[in-house]
Structure 1
Amino acid sequence: MLESVRNEIESKRLLLPGETIVVGVSGGNDSTALLHILATLNENYHYGWTLHAVHLNHGFRGEEARQDALYAKSLCEKLGVTFHLFEYDVPAYMEQTGMGGQEASREIRYRLYREVGTAQGATKLALAHHADDQVETILFRFVRGTRLQGLSGMPARRPLEDSNIELIRPLLHKTRQELEAYCLENELEPREDSSNQSRKYKRNLLRMDVMPLLASVNDRYREHILEAAEAFARDEAFLLQLALDQLKGVTTNTKPDEIVIDKDKFQTCDVALQRRMITLILSYLSKQTEWSSQHVETVLHMLGGSRPSAELHLPKQLVVSRMYGRILFRRTGREDRIHTYCYELAVPGVTRIDESKATVHTAYLEGPLDLERLPANEAVFDADHLPGALYLRNRKPGDRVTLFGQADGKKLKDLLIDAKFPRVWRDKLPLLTAGDEVILVPGVRRSAVAPVTGQTRRFLHVRVEFGEDWREVFS
């Protein structure tokens, strides 16, 4: 194990002698193995590394989490590694921000990694993701919806956002079973997080139920998926270089916080390169390497719109504006409260909305459902009387909803207030629109647009499924 990881580190130059390294340590099997391996290599081969372990008690599991922290601290004392313990009320942060548990936990962990790394002058952050994590990530992205970059898996190295630190993953070539054997061989007694056995988390479902089924089809499925991911990564790198070359030809102005491109030249490029050019621009302005395909698709949709001008607000303080023949990407210096998105629905089909943690199912029916019994997250429309194509977006100032029996409609803001809809969730709520009309506020109200009547011939059924994060909103 030690020689294999050492070869991986040296062949890819993941770590250099004398570096200061932050190591994420949960106390579980994988991070325990990683910390022990790095400390042992440092002692055996005199790399001169300075190791700092960061452990976060998320405030979810009470005494179990406190015991995890004690174990991680004890391990660091034995290995002579500086230990940084943090305790954070993640449930309160979730309530404050409207984030889900995993999203909020990740944001806080990475914030702490950056803080410790910056304070200690670290150049690297080492995390314990391994080959099984890689396969799980690729499968998860595949079933949730992704493109070639997502199917390439997690990179062995990438810049850590908002820092001068590089994130590395020295164990991507090792399996979970190999790391468990290493811990056993070295008489380590890592902690087991009980939440890893909960099927309420979708990734656990993949690991516990789906991956064993894949093994019954072909016990080398991991190897084949990882080989495919490596090929995807090479193809993606080639296409990204083509996109970079094309981007130089369509860019008219470049500043640290602003890029302007020629709209007509941009639209002559193949859409595969357009997507990658958008990603390159967003990454340059935000210093964030990973952008979801849905953010990119939102920008692409806006750029191809028929209106002469339009504006789109994205995370990381980015705004994209279309002004006649120009497309302006800029960083505003402030985080906008509303990150706008707008996705065209697959009809019939399934559309996943990452920003809202929601999935929309649409289907044509042969006849009407019992409309009186439909839950508030479903609706049936007269497909031939919809005023335009169907899109899902979040709210905009001035939105109104046409209600049955009200000619002038009602302000969306007032509708949500009357429904006692939590303020922190309002910007994430996906609205179904047709043309310029809001036709469904899922979980709240259907509009009076395209009602089903005795003359209806085509029935369109829409169902919005909300993720676990929304449970408290609709309970």
Structure 2
Amino acid sequence: MLASVHNEILRERLLLPGETVVVGVSGGNDSSALLHILVSLNEQYHYGWKLHAVHLNHGFRGEEARLDALYARELCESLGVAFHLFEFDVPAYMEQTGKGGQEASRDVRYGFYLRVAKEQGAAKLALAHHADDQVETILFRLVRGTRLHGLTGMPKRRWLEEGGIELVRPLLHKTRQELEAYCRENGLAPREDSSNHSRKYKRNLLRLDVMPLLAQVNERYREHILEAAEAIRQDDELLERLAREQLQKVLIAQKQDEIVLDLEAFQKCDVALQRRMITLILGYVSKQTEWSSQHVEAVLHISGGSRPSAQLHLPGELVVNRVYGRIHFCPKGREERIHMYCYDLPIPGSIWIEESKVWVHTKQLVRFTDWKRLQENEAVFDADRLPGPLFLRNRRPGDRLALFGTASGKKLKELLIDQKVPRAWRDRLPLLAAGEEVLWVPGLRRSATAPVTEQTRRLLYVRVEFGEDWREVFS
């Protein structure tokens, strides 16, 4: 046993010499074996590990739980391991949060693991999950509903969400039966958690009823499931890499909690990569760590809708919008309307429009000859034919634009829709106006007012400097 676990630790570099390691110790068979193994390896190979055992009394089993804690303390004292005992009213926490017993227990337990790890400067958290736990996890995910990644099981190592602490599982290659034999051989007398025999927990149904039946079909079912999981893991890593590469090709914009995709480019990708890209994005823009296949399918569904726009609200205050050829992932509230604004236009000069996050620059010219290079964010007017003082403002109800060759002009609202400007950006777009008349919609269209002709003697040149935020509007 010691040689096997030692080889696993070395091969995977799960623990390094001199590290401080927090060990989860429930007092049961598996965690007792893990702690004893780590202590034995530490003594035999002089690794200099500083071990800290953490035990939590969840407040579920009264005197039985107290005796578990007492056993865990005595075990640590006999092995010379620092012991950290915590008690927490998990049933009360369940009532407050609405979480189930196993989920709530895990939240609280990991919270104390991280607390001790930070206090002691630990680099690793070692847990005693073994091969039978792995098989149970894979089967449980399969019957509940999962994608390919879920069938890879628990990883041997992963970073926890906070604190820069790595969780490692040195016993994933050992069976429960092997660990029980180790405890007997080394004179350990682990505690047995009575809740492990309760069929009210669905995972227990798998362990107590389903897995024994699988053994009747094939005694080597564990081995075959784990072999399949390893093959799936390798396939999953390849697809994950392809999805990350493809995601970079369909990205329009990316911020800390916001991502915008090119819908057409996204839809050209294989649906398997689409699902993976969605999972990657959801993990990036939200603090929620796990997303179900239902969430991914919901995003996939609205991405392929026939209407010009669609919106989806997901857990964690996350909103997904499909608008005019783009898929926008952002926190709820990011797209709220901004207040009305109006600024005098300095001529000549520059002004920063905070609400729009743009600079507007103006110059007075005698002539303008570079018409072929005039960009959509630039406009030139006959300064002597402008209808009055100029302002920079956002849109207002009833705004119209007088267009060349039309008598009545066009409603600004219709223009923005035709130009596929996302709804969230329409109130931010700065307009050049004279009183109630809109002269120019930067990046889109200028009005027929004050055109430059052969009789023009003075010109007004206006340029709007759009930042990266506006890429999704004008790209």
TM-score by length of 2: 0.67
Q: How large is the RMSD of aligned CA atoms in angstroms?
A: 1.9
Find the counterpart in structure 2 of residue 46 from structure 1. 46
Q: What is the identity, as a one-letter code, of the residue corresponding to 2:14?
A: L
The residue that corresponds to 1:188 in the other structure is: 188
The answer to whether structure 1 residue 204 and structure 2 residue 204 are counterparts is: yes
Could you tell me which residue of structure 1 aligns to residue 2 of structure 2? 2
**Shift of the alpha carbon at 1:287?**
6.4
Q: Within 1, Cα distance between the matches of 2:69 and 2:112?
A: 15
Once residues 19 and 331 of structure 1 are traced to their aligned partners in structure 2, the CA distance between those partners, rounded to angstroms, is 39
CA deviations 1:412-439 (Å, max 9, x no partner) are xxxxxxxxxxxxxxxxxxxxxxxxxxxx
Question: Which residue is 2:293 aligned to?
Answer: 293
Secondary structure of 1:170's partner? coil
Partner of 2:163: 163
Could you tell me how far 1:257 is from its partner in structure 2?
Answer: 2.4
1:73 equivalent to 2:105? Answer no
Q: Offset at 1:101?
A: 0.9
* Alpha carbons 1:161, 1:287 under 8 Å: kept: no
Pairing of 1:59-138 with structure 2 (within 5 A): 59-138=59-138
| Structure 1 range deviating more: 100-109 or 299-308 | 299-308
CA distance in 1, matches of 2:315, 2:21: 29
Q: Which amino acid aligns with 1:27?
A: G
Q: Give the whole-Å Cα distance in 1 for the aligned partners of 2:266 and 2:181.
A: 53
CA distance in 2, matches of 1:111, 1:332: 27
Write the distance in 1 (CA, Å) between the matches of 2:169 and 2:287: 20
Give the residue type in structure 2 aligned to 1:22. Answer: V
**Worse-superposed segment, 228-237 or 37-46:** 37-46
User: In the aligned structure 2, how far is the partner of 1:277 from the partner of 1:54?
Assistant: 38
Aligned length: 334
Q: 1:231 to 1:134 in 2, by over 3 A?
A: same
Q: What is the rounded CA distance, in whole Å, between the counterparts of 1:15 and 1:85 in structure 2?
A: 24
Q: Which whole-Å CA distance do the structure 2 matches of 1:64 and 1:223 have between them?
A: 34
Show the counterpart of 1:254.
Answer: 254
2-structure distance, mates of 1:289, 1:165: 16
Paired with 2:219 and 2:297, the residues of 1 have a C-alpha distance of 36
For 1:16 and 1:265, the matched residues in 2 are separated by: 45
**1:69-124, Cα deviation, whole Å (9 max, x unpaired):** 11111111122222111111111111111111111111111222222222222221
Cα distance in 1, alignment partners of residues 304 and 123 from structure 2: 41
Q: Deviations over 1:264-306 (max 9, x none)?
A: 2111111110111111122233466643322322322333334
Report the AA paired with residue 79 of structure 1: L
- Structure 1 residue 20 and structure 2 residue 23: aligned? no
Aligned pairs for 1:456-475 within 5 A? none
SS of match in other structure, 1:167? strand
Relative to structure 1, the CA distance from residue 128 to residue 331 in structure 2 (aligned partners, 3 Å threshold; closer, same or farther) is: farther
Displacement, 1:217? 1.0
TM-score, normalised with respect to structure 1: 0.67
Distance 1:173 1:84 in 2: 28
Q: Contact conserved, 1:24 with 1:127, CA < 8 A, in 2?
A: yes
Residue in structure 2 matched with residue 323 of structure 1 by the alignment:
323
Return the alpha-carbon distance in structure 2 between the equivalents of residues 313 and 167 of structure 1: 32
Moved more, 198-207 or 297-306: 297-306
**What is the rounded CA distance, in whole Å, between the counterparts of 1:210 and 1:184 in structure 2?**
27
* 3-state SS of 1:253 partner: strand
- Could you say if the C-alpha distance between residues 305 and 117 of structure 1 is closer, same or farther in structure 2, counting changes exceeding 3 Å? farther
**Identity rate, percent:** 76
Which string of whole-angstrom CA distances, capped at 9 and with x for unpartnered residues, describes residues 145-177 of structure 1? 111111111111111123311111110000000
Cα separation, 2, equivalents of 1:332 and 1:18: 45
Partner of 2:242: 242
Given the superposition, is the C-alpha separation of residues 103 and 333 from structure 1 closer, same or farther in structure 2, using an over 3 Å criterion? farther
Give the alignment of 1:336-415 within 5 angstroms.
Answer: none
Structure 2 counterpart SS, 1:327: strand
1:316 deviates by: 4.8
C-alpha separation in 2, matches of 1:54 and 1:3: 25
Distance 1:42 1:319, change over 3 A: farther
Distance 1:62 1:187 in 2: 27
Structure 1 residues 288 and 125, CA, compared in 2 at 3 Å: closer, same or farther? Answer: farther
Distance 1:179 1:317 in 2: 44
Equivalent residue letter for 2:225: I
1:389-421 Cα offsets, whole Å, 9 max, x none, are: xxxxxxxxxxxxxxxxxxxxxxxxxxxxxxxxx
SS at match of 1:305: coil
Gaps of 5+ in 2: 335-475
Q: Where does the alignment leave 5 or more consecutive residues of structure 1 unmatched?
A: 335-475
| C-alpha contact 1:113 1:125 (8 A) present in aligned 2 | yes
**Cα 1:317–1:39, aligned 2, differ >3 Å: closer, same or farther?**
farther
Q: Which residue of 2 aligns with 1:230?
A: 230
